Amino acid sequence: MSVAKEFELANDKYSAGFTKGDLPLPPGRKVAVVVCMDARIDPARALGLEEGDAHVIRNAGGRAADALRSVIISQQLLGTRELVVIHHTDCGMLTFRDEDLRKKLQETTHVTADHFAFLPFADIEQSVREDVAFFKHSPYVLDVPTTGYVYDVKTGAIRKVEDN
């Protein structure tokens, strides 16, 4: 069975007991969370989020530059007024450099990707600080409370590293 088929079965159960059909479009807690796509992180459970609470913007590494388009939409059209950035221990972004992935991409697709920045990093706390600073200094992003955390995949705990 494909995973998509498994999703359909799981969703039958989820939707059968669904009671959140009347939520407003803007996030109730007026927050956007930018977090790595890592499969070990469940932002809803780790942060106490329910349907309708928050925008959770996920990408490889939880990088701010990659999330910018969504953050602008979140703030300008859907009223969020706080930002949270979460990177994590043992992140895949610590394991490669741009040139490594460009080479691999060229080998497998025969496409040159020299212009592509995959935004890997070498230090988790530093990457969180960089991304909080990115939002703070971006002319496209409102000046809102912005907090950065490192999530520990071994313990499930978040640790604050930047509060701005």
Residues engaged in binding Zn ion (CB under 5 A):
36, 38, 91
Nearer to Zn ion, 75 or 132 (CB): 132
Alpha carbon distance 26, 75 (integer Å): 10
Continuous segment of H or E residues that includes residue 101: helix 98-109
Q: Is the torsion defined by CA of 119, 123, 124, 128 positive or negative?
A: negative
Least separation in angstroms between residue 156's CB and Zn ion is: 15
Least separation in angstroms between residue 34's CB and Zn ion is: 12
Least separation in angstroms between residue 64's CB and Zn ion is: 14
The residue among 63, 65, 62, 58 whose CA lies nearest residue 44 is: 58
Contacts (Cβ under 8 Å, ≥6 apart) of 154: 89, 90
Alpha carbon distance 85, 119 (integer Å): 15
Alpha carbon distance 146, 4 (integer Å): 36
Annotated binding site for Zn(2+): 36, 38, 88, 91
Phi-psi label, residue 61: left if phi above 0, alpha if psi -120 to 50, beta otherwise:
left
Nearer to Zn ion, 34 or 71 (CB): 34
Least separation in angstroms between residue 93's CB and Zn ion is: 6
